[in-house]
Every structure is written in structure tokens, then in C-alpha cells.
Amino acid sequence: MTMTKADVTAVAVKHPVPHLRPRILLKNADRSALHPTVLAEAEHRAASVQLRVADAITSFAGSMWFVYLHIVLFGVWMLVFENSPWPTLTLIVSLEAIFLSTFVMIGQNRQAVFQQAKADHDYQEQGSLLKENTELTRLIHSLTEEIHARVLADVQAKQVAAAGETTGV
């Protein structure tokens, strides 16, 4: 099997990277390609200052830059500012862990609400599609029966005509 240039191009196209921050998602994405619930949630989160701040914190706290920054800061702190056994650093790290775990829970709660809204939307869409497909199936069935009856009537009429010709009537 040989691949055409179009096939190679189609394979080379990658799915766009999803953006964690709604304002960036809304600015860069093709809105017609977004799920309606994703679009509604992104618009809701982009409209609120509080949610934009939470999105900024959680997107940074969940990145490798956050890890690199902490490696450097903790290394500098331990080597330059603290004497053994680093009580101030321990306090700072403990407080940061409390805040980060709170941000993780906030993010999980928001994600759960989003997933529920998306699931509800998908359920409604599937229900309407099921209803539409059922109606189409019934219509196809009735049309098939009508066509079958007409073809059968034509065949029977031809058989009657053929039988009349053979008997000489």
C-alpha cells in the first residue's frame, strides 16, 4: 500500500494542545470545533476574575516550571539563608503544601462540575439522536413495506397478464 502526499499530510497533522486557561483557549481555538459545554465553561471561567486567578495558579502549579522554580529556590534557601535544620524552610514548605492541596481540591471540584455538565449535555444529545434515529428507522420500514407491496402487485399483475396470454384469453 502506497501513501499519497495527502495521506502523509493527514498523518503529520497533530491534534492541537488543549489549553488549561480558558481565556487562552477562547482566544486561540476554533469555537465551532469546541464542545458546547467546554465553550460555555470556558466563557464562564474567563468572565470571573476569581476563576481566572485560580486558573492561573493551578496551571502554573501543575507545570514543570513550578518544579524547577522550587528546586532553585529551596536550594538557594538551604545553602544561603538557613542554618541546620532549616526550621523556616520547613514552615514555608508546609504552608505552601496546604495552599497547593487546597488548589488541587478546588481544581478537582471544578473539573467534576464540568464533567457532569458535559455528561448531561451528551446524554441529552444522545437522547435526541436516538429519538431521531428511531423515527427514521420507522419511516424506512414503512417505505420499505410500501415499495414491497407495489413491487409485489406489479409482479402479480405481470403474472396474471402472462397467464392470460398463454391461455389465449
Residue pointed to by grid coordinates 420507522: 138
Q: How far are the Cα atoms of 23, 117, 155 from residue 152, in angstroms, in the given order?
A: 64, 52, 5
- 86 Rama sector, left if φ>0, alpha if ψ -120 to 50, beta otherwise: left
pLDDT tens-digit readout, 58-97: 778 777 888 888 888 888 887 888 776 668 778 888 888 8
Q: How far are the Cα atoms of 129, 146, 148 from residue 132, in angstroms, in the given order?
A: 5, 21, 24
Instruction: Give the mean pLDDT of the chain.
Output: 78
Q: What's the whole-number mean pLDDT along residues 45-51? A: 81
pLDDT, residue 169, reads: 57
Tell me which amino acid residue 25 is: L
User: With 60 as the cut, is the pLDDT of residue 38 above it?
Assistant: yes
Identify the band that residue 8 occupies on the pLDDT scale cut at 50, 70 and 90: very low
pLDDT tens-digit readout, 117-132: 787 788 888 989 999 9
Distance CA 134, CA 12 (A): 39
